Structures are given as structure tokens and as C-alpha cells.
Structure 1
Amino acid sequence: MAAKLGGSGGGKYHVEANAEINVTPFVDIMLVLLIIFMVASAVATPGVEVKLPIAVAAQAPSPPKPMFISIQTDGRVFIGDGESSYETLGADLTEQVGRRDPTKERIYIRADEQTRYGDFMQAMNSLQDSGFYSVALVGEDKVTGP
């Protein structure tokens, strides 16, 4: 029989030290804590019935009616339901907006798919010349399915 006489040689029951960190238990603990926090926060919402006092503040004004500009295939331009022209588009729109700030007013442009690009750009230039810079283009949503 042989006997081991000191030293650090590897034996039958010797296990090497592992310098790598096993993150799996750490992730498991974090997920459990996250679930506990989510459940506890949902339960912690107040469920006490309270009769609130009536507010005496003035009611906030409702947002203004959106302004739509429509351009047809033949080049005619409309503000809402009223017809306008490219030369007077900015002035007509300013008149309809009233005292509101034109730089903060959002204008929606609807144009026929066959509208000439030049007509569209003429309307955009007229709007920008009058101070209307917030312009959105309106398109039809694509319907999928039967």
C-alpha cells in the first residue's frame, strides 16, 4: 500500500477550486424578489372609501376642434367644409383659428392619392408662410382580413 506524505498533490478526494461565479442562483433570487414586490405593490394600493370634496376650480377648456385641410385631385383646396384657394389659405385659416397661437395649432392635411405633388407643396408653403408649422398628414388605415 502507498501512503501520501504531505504536499498538495491531487488525490482521490481532492477537488480543485472553481474561480467562476455561478449567477443562476442570483438570477433566481432576483426574480423571486421581483414577483414579491409586484404582488406587494398591487396589494398595498389603498382600498379605503373616501368621499372627496367638490372642486371649485374653473373647468379646463376643451381642446380646440382639429383643423382639416383637404386637397382634391383637381387641385381644389378646402378648410373643413369651406372652399379656399392656395393664395388665401393661410389668411382663411388664421381667421378660423382666431386668437389662438398659430405656432401651437395642429393642422391636418388630407389629400387624394392622385393629387399632384405641386398642389400639396403649394398648400404646405402657404401654411408655413402664415406661421402654421405643426402639420400632420392623414392617411387611411389599411384594413386586413376578410
Structure 2
Amino acid sequence: MITEALTFFTPTTEEGEGAYFFDTGISCGFPSPAEDFKQQRISLDRELIKNKEATFFARVSGQSMIDAGLDDNDLLVIDRSIAPEHNKIAVCFIDGEFTVKRLQIENGTVWLKPENANYDPIQITSENNFLIWGIVTNVIKRV
């Protein structure tokens, strides 16, 4: 049984120039002089979305992927145009529920591997109603 849920969103394009972007790198040590800052605009849509028609967002609900850096309430960027491959993180539809797991493809067998030792891998068999819905390309976190 899958114990987590995903809430899906479609991207919308806002007209405008995007947020300000300082193309200097942000130091975690000593601050750099203020005159070094070069100010320009950045669009997160252009940075995070490669194929708008095939891209969706989903909010994570659950803890099964915390060791991969996907925490409860994180926002995933999912591209349905990317071919699934071994070791990619995928949003899958299995037996009527969505889940996000790492794909493990070994000798023709597909496993959905959680990234949390408290959860067991799921072996996909012919008994399952299974679809790889899309590949996770980015995660957006709140701090």
C-alpha cells in the first residue's frame, strides 16, 4: 500500500521580466564588496521548465524520499517528456495511487525504491496497474 499522496499543479506563465538575480554567487564566508553585484532579471520558469506542455508541479506528502532530499511539502518539478531510466526519481501511478520513488530496473524487473530505511521497496509485477507518470527534474524547498 502506498502511504503518501501528491497534489498536482500545472505551470502558468506570468508576463513580466522575472525576479532580480545577482550573478555573483553568494558567499557563505566573508561578504564581498557591494559594487561587485551585477543585477539582472531571472525567470524560474526558464530555469526549471524545459518542456512547458509536459511539465507539472506536485507537492510531496510523506517521508519515504527524505534521504534523497525530498521532504514533506516540497514542490516537485515533473517532466513527462523525459524517458524513464534506471536510478531516476519518478512519479508513478500504481494501483490507483500516485507515489514518488527512485526507479530501479534490474534484469527486466522494475522496483520502486524509497529513500528512507523505514520503507520497503515495491516490486512491480504484472498484477499491478502501473504507469511511470513523469521524471522529477527539480525540487523547490522552503527555508
By percentage of residues, which structure has more strand?
2
User: Which structure's CA Rg is the greater one?
Assistant: 1
By percentage of residues, which structure has more helix?
1
TM-score with structure 1 length normalisation? 0.18
* RCO comparison, higher one (Cα < 8 Å, 6+): 2
